[in-house]
Structure 1
Amino acid sequence: MRLKVLSYIGWVQAAGAMSGSLFFSEIWRLPPCLLCWYQRILMYPLVVIIAVGILRKDKDLPFYALPLSVGGMVIAFYHMLLYWGVLPESVAPCILGISCTTKFFEWYGFVTIPFLSFLAFFVITTCMVLVLRGNRKN
């Protein structure tokens, strides 16, 4: 039962992140940067992959979801470092379009779009790792 709940939490997080990114770009009209596009490419399929894994009761779901969630988490972490100025903008891949360090909003001094993305990928990764560990015990 607990493993099923973790899978649902992962799916809700992925669906929420996808909805949030679409809200930012389509409703608020905030253009996504190149790193944001890479994160979207890794997040959007997770909604379908996790849903199919839940519906099929697939014990291998973490093996399908983890490569995308870990990859997204790495890109989001890199994006946060650029955004907060830890890494110089000269190492940013954002040569076309909007800069990856453009500050659209910042809540409480640290909650930014890259931070929200990292948090979403972290929650999904954590849920999938716990599901994987739980499946190994059973």
Structure 2
Amino acid sequence: MQTTHPQAQSQGWALLLWAWLIALVSTIAVLFVGEVMGQEPCVLCWFQRAFMFPLVLVLGVACCVSDMGAWRYALPLAVTGWLIALYHNLLYFGLIPESIKPCGAGPSCSGDDMTILGGVPLPLLSLGVFSLLIILLVLIRRRFNQ
């Protein structure tokens, strides 16, 4: 059932815009940390980036054309990124044994230089961003059910 009420359409566009802005700010932030601050990302961070970066394009185009059906393309990217971020956090907080840690050979996210905002670890921040994106995309899906 498609909602065509102008106010509902406007609210849907606002949700899309928020999702795009969150993905854009997140992408700019990780590029700043990597390229300006010189912090090389670990393997799991790279995988999370692989699912965040396309969201900027998908959600940006969806905003430009007011495509409320874009959740179909964006939600799988966000959920996959969220699953990788969840796994990363389980490793970071020691809930998964270190022996199966896939990024042990390269840079590590466990150092103090990999925190932001007074001690929030980057893996936790990534999980939060993907969670927000999923919430916004599910709201769009429920509202427009396309």
Contact persistence 1:10–1:124 (CA under 8 A)? yes
Identity %: 38
Amino acid at match of 1:72: G
Give the number of the structure whose alpha-carbon radius of gyration is greater. Answer: 2
The SS at the match of 1:66 is helix
Residue 52 of structure 1 pairs with residue 66 of structure 2: no
Counterpart residue identity of residue 51, structure 2: L
The amino acid that maps onto 2:50 is: I
Residue among 24, 34, 55 paired with 1:25 = 34
Q: How high is the TM-score relative to the length of structure 2?
A: 0.86
What number of residue pairs does the alignment pair up? 136
Q: Which runs of 4+ in 1 moved over 3 A?
A: 99-103, 105-109
**What residue in structure 2 maps to residue 64 of structure 1?**
73
Q: Are 1:130 and 2:134 an aligned pair?
A: no
CA contact (8 A) 2:85 2:127 kept: yes
CA contact (8 A) 2:52 2:77 kept: yes
TM-score normalised according to structure 1 size: 0.90
Which has the higher mean CA deviation after the structures are superposed, 92-101 or 13-22? 92-101
Counterpart position of 1:7: 16
- Distance in 1, Cα, partners of 2:16 & 2:81: 18
Compute the displacement of 1:104 (Å). 2.5
1:76 is matched with: 85
> What's the CA shift string for 1:59-78, capped at 9, x where partnerless?
31100100000011111111
Q: Match for residue 52 of structure 2?
A: 43
* Structure 2 unmatched ranges of 5 or more: 1-9
CA root-mean-square deviation: 1.7
Whether the 8 Å CA contact 2:23–2:55 is kept in 1: the answer is yes
AA aligned opposite 1:61? A
In structure 1, list runs of 5 or more residues that go unmatched. Answer: none
Aligned-residue offset at 1:85 = 1.1
Deviation at 1:105, TM superposition (A): 3.7
